[in-house]
Structure 1
Amino acid sequence: MLNELVRLTTDCVKNTLAVDVAEDVALVSAIAQRVNPAVKIDAVIAVGKKRYWMGLVASVNFPGKTIEECLQVLHTDIVEVWNIQDGCGYLESKELKKLMIELVGNQYDEPSDPNTIFPRAYSLLGGLTALIGGLTSPAAPIVIPIVASLLLAKWIFNVALMLQCLMAYIVDFIIIMQIIFGLLVNAHLRLSRRLIKLVFKAYSISVERSKVHKEIKEHVKLAGCFDRDAALAKIIQLIKEYQMKPESMEELQSAVKAFENNEDKDWGVGKA
C-alpha cells in the first residue's frame, strides 16, 4: 500500500502543478521517500539528466576536471538520490568506488564473452540466492573476485573506452543501489559492508551485468562517441530493462532470511 501511495502521490504532483514546479517538487519527494524503488529509479534518472549525464555523453573531455573528480560527482549524486541511512559511510567509501571502477573497466579488456571470467553466470535473483546458500556459516567471508587492476589513466587515451566505462558506471551502480535499497526496505535488513559485498558480487557474476556491458560496447561502436542523445537514451533503456523487477525482489525475500548480516572486518577483495 505504501508503494502505491508513493507512486500515486508522485503522479499527482506531476499532473496538477505547473511543469517546472511539478518536476522539482516531484523530484524532492521521490528522493525523500524510502519506500518505492521504482520511484527512486525515475528520480535518479531525472537527477542525472539535469546535472551531468548529457555532459558526460556529449564529450569525454572534462576541462578543468580530472576523471576521478567526475566519477566522484557521479557516484555521490546516485548515492544521495537513494537516501539510504549510512552512518559508516560505506556507500561513499574509497573501497566501493575502487570496486566500481574495476567492475566497469576490466570487462572491456576481455576479448571474448565477459562471462568467461567467472565459472558461471547467474541471473541477479539466482546469483543472490546462490551466494546466500553458499555461505556455510555466519562467519563465512564474502570474497569479491577482481580480475586485474584497471588504471584510470588508461581511459584517457581511448575515447570509446572512456565513454563505455562512464555509461557502465551509471547503469551498474544504479542497479546495485536499487537492489541494496530493496533489501533494506522489503527485507528489513540493515546496511552493512557484508550486505553491499553480497549485492556487488551477485551483480558482478550476473547475466544482466554481461548484457549491460555488451550492449554498451555495441552501442558505442555503432553510434560513435559524440551522439549524446543516443547515449542518454541507451543509459535509460538499460536501467529500465535490467533493474531487478518487483516480482524478483519479492521472490528474494525467502532467500535472504538465511543471510547472516553480521559485519565483515574488511572488503574482502581477492584475486579471481
Structure 2
Amino acid sequence: MKLLPLPTTSGMFERCPRFRILVIGKVGVGKSSLIDHVFGVGTNTTVAHDQRGKANIDTQFTSPHNDRLVLHDSKGFEPGEEDNLELVLDFIRRRKAMPDKDQLHAIWLCFQTPFAGGRFLETGAEEFLTCKRDGRLGDIPVIVVLTKYDMLVDDIELNLDDSTDGLSDEAIKELVKDKADVEIRDNCIIPLERFAGSDIPHATISTKADYKETLAGLIQLTEKRVSKHSTPEAGVMTSIAQRVDSGLKIQALIKVGKERYWKALRSGPSFKNCQMWDCLDVLHTDIVEVWNFRDPHKYLRSQEFRKLIIDMVDGTQVGPIADPDKTVTTGFSMVGTVASVLAGPAAPVVVPIAACVVFGAWVYDIYQTSDVVLQRFMAYIAHLALVSRTLFIVSESQEVTRRAIKLAVEVYLTSPMCGEVVIRIQDHIRQLKVLERRDGDTLNKIEEVVQFYKIDAAEISKHREKLHGHLVDESW
C-alpha cells in the first residue's frame, strides 16, 4: 500500500489549529468592528456586540467564515470594576498551563484614541500594564490598540486656524497628521510608557475605508511579536488567520514551503515512491490553506481552477522538453509537457504552489535534461501564488466566487508583471550551471519571484468595482 505525503499544513494545524487572541476593551471602543475587518469573520459572530456585561472571557468565539481564528473577549478595566483585572490575570495563567494547541497567542488591549485633555488609562489598565512590565504575564505579547483614529483626525481638521489658508490639500493632510502624532504621543504613549515601559508595542488604527493601512500595520506588529515569543506555528497561524495583509500571506507561504517541500530540491527522499500527481495534489492543499480564503464551495480546490493555472503555465512557457520520454525512477514518466503528464484519467489536473518538490527524489537522474520542466514548475509556483494574491486583494474577505477567481486570473495574466515573472524564471534557468549551486539559488529565486508582484491602488479600485458591479456568480 502506497503511503502518500501529507501537507505541511496538516501537521501545523494539528499542533496549532487556530490563532487564539484575547481582546480587552470597554463598551463602545470598537472591538467588533476591529475583529470583523482584520479577520473577515462577518458581523454576527464576534465579541459580545459591545453589550455591557455580556463578555465572558472563557467563551470561545469562532466563525464559519474563518475557522483559523478563536477569539476571547473581555470588558475593559472600567472604574468600579477592578475585579476584572483578576479575571483577566487568572485567564492568562490558566491558558499558559494548557497544551500548545490551546495556548493564548496575543492580547489586544484596546482604547479609543483620546482627544486633548481626555482621560486615557484607568487604574485597572495601569495595574495590568505594570503586571506586563514586571513579567507577571509571561511572554504573551500585549499590543495596545488605539481605535477610532479617524475621529481624532477629523477633530483636528475642524479646529485648524486661518494659518492654513493657501496650503495645498497634501500640505494640510501632512499638518493634520503631525498634530495627531503629537497628541497621541502626549496623551497616550507617554502615559503608556510610565506603566508598561518603553518597549510596549502599540498601533493606532481605524476601520474606516481610508485607513486600511493602519490595520495591516497592527497585524504585522502582532505577527512579529507572536513569532518572537511563541512557537513557529503560531507565527504562521497569525498570518493565515488575518485577512488584511497579502504580504504576510506570502511570507507564510514561503515559511510553509521552506519548512519541508522546497527543501526537497536538495533531497526529498520522502517522495521517492509517490506518483507525481499525488505529491502535487498535496502541495495544492498547502497553498489553499495558507491563503485561507472564505471559500465554502471549495472553488479553489476544484479541477476547473487547477486547469486555469495549468493553462496559464502552458501559455507562458517556451522551448522544447529535452528527452521528453525519459522514465523517472520514482514511478512516473515525463511525457511531452507537465499538462500532458497530468491529464491522464487517473490524475487530477494539478501542478500546485510548491510543485518543485517532485524534483527531489529524482534530481540526480534527470536534472541536467529537465530545465524546461523546472521552469514550468517554478512558473506554476509563481502564477498560483500571485493569482491568489490578486484574488485576496480584489475580493476583500468576501466569499470567493467563480467570477472573482476568473477576474483575478485575467488581471494577473494581462499585467506586465506576469511576463516579467516568466522572464526572471527563464533567466534563472539559463544561469544554472552547477547542481550544488542551483538548489539553494532556486529556493531563493522562488522566494524572490513570489514577493515581486504588486497592484497599485488605482488598479485595485478599478477591479473591485468590476467585480462587485455584478453580484451574481457565473459558471466556469
Aligned residue in 2 for 1:169 = 380
- CA-to-partner distance for each residue in 1:230-255, whole Å, 9 max, x for gaps? 0010011111222x24xx14652244
What is the deviation of 1:31? 1.1
Aligned match for 1:101, one of 286, 310, 318: 310
Q: 1:223-242, aligned counterparts within 5 Å?
A: 223-224=432-433, 226=435, 227-242=438-453
Offset of 1:189 from its aligned partner? 4.4
Where in structure 2 are the equivalents of 1:27-46 lying within 5 Å? Answer: 27-46=236-255
Partner residue in 2 for 1:10: 223
Q: Distance in 2 between matches of 1:224 and 1:63?
A: 25
Do residues 70 (structure 1) and 259 (structure 2) align? Answer: no
Aligned to 1:252: 460
Map of 1:88 onto structure 2: 297
Specify which structure has the bigger relative contact order, considering alpha-carbon pairs within 8 angstroms and separated by 6 or more residues.
Answer: 1
Give the Cα–Cα distance (whole angstroms) in 2 for the partners of residues 217 and 68 of structure 1.
24
Higher strand share: 2
Identity between Structure 1 and Structure 2 (%): 31
What's 1:115 paired with?
none
Query: Counterpart of 1:209?
Result: 418
State the number of aligned residues.
220
**1:171·1:238 contact (CA, 8 Å) conserved in 2?**
yes
Counterpart of 1:213 in structure 2: which amino acid? Answer: V
Q: 1:152 is matched with which residue?
A: 341
**SS of equivalent to 1:231:** helix
8 Å contact from structure 1 (residues 90, 193) kept in 2: yes
Measure the CA separation in 1 of the matches of 2:253 and 2:232: 13
Counterpart amino acid of residue 165 in structure 1: R
**Pair 1:218 & 2:407 matched:** no
- Structure 2 residues without counterparts, runs of 5 or longer: 1-213, 321-336, 344-357, 360-365
Shift of 1:171: 1.2
Q: Is the 8 A contact 1:189 1:261 kept in 2?
A: no
CA contact (8 A) 2:390 2:411 kept: no
2:393 and 2:460 in contact (8 A); partners too = no
Is residue 2:465 matched to residue 1:262? no
- Sort the Cα spacing of 1:254 and 1:215 in 2 relative to 1 into closer, same or farther, 3 A: closer
Return the alpha-carbon distance in structure 1 between the equivalents of residues 442 and 459 of structure 2. 33
| CA–CA distance in structure 2, aligned partners of residues 250 and 206 of structure 1 | 14
| Structure 1 residue identity aligned to 2:378 | M
Separation (CA, whole Å) in 2 of partners of 1:42 and 1:198? 24
Question: Does the CA-based 8 Å contact 2:395-2:404 persist in structure 1?
Answer: no
- C-alpha distance 203-22 of structure 1, shift in aligned 2 (>3 A): same
When the two chains are superposed, the root-mean-square deviation of aligned CA atoms in Å is: 2.8
Q: After superposing the two structures, state which structure 1 stretch, 160-169 or 64-73, moved more.
A: 64-73
- TM-score normalised according to structure 1 size: 0.72
In 1, distance between residues paired with 2:267 and 2:314? 19
Structure 1 residue 202: deviation in Å?
2.1
Contact 2:421 2:449 (C-alpha < 8 Å) held by counterparts: yes
Q: Secondary structure at the match of 1:215?
A: helix
Letter in 1 for 2:273: G
Q: Is the contact between residue 193 and residue 264 of structure 1 (CA under 8 Å) also seen in structure 2?
A: yes
Shift of 1:149: 9.7
Decide whether the 8 Å contact of 2:403 with 2:473 is kept in 1: yes
- Listed as ranges, the gaps of 5+ residues in structure 1 are 112-147, 268-272
Give the counterpart letter for 1:253 in structure 2.
S
Cα deviation code 1:170-192 (max 9, x no counterpart): 1111111111111222xx64311
What secondary structure is seen at the aligned counterpart in 1 of 2:473?
coil
| Residue type at the aligned position of 1:14 | S
Choose between structure 1 and 2: higher helix proportion. Answer: 1
Aligned to 2:334: none
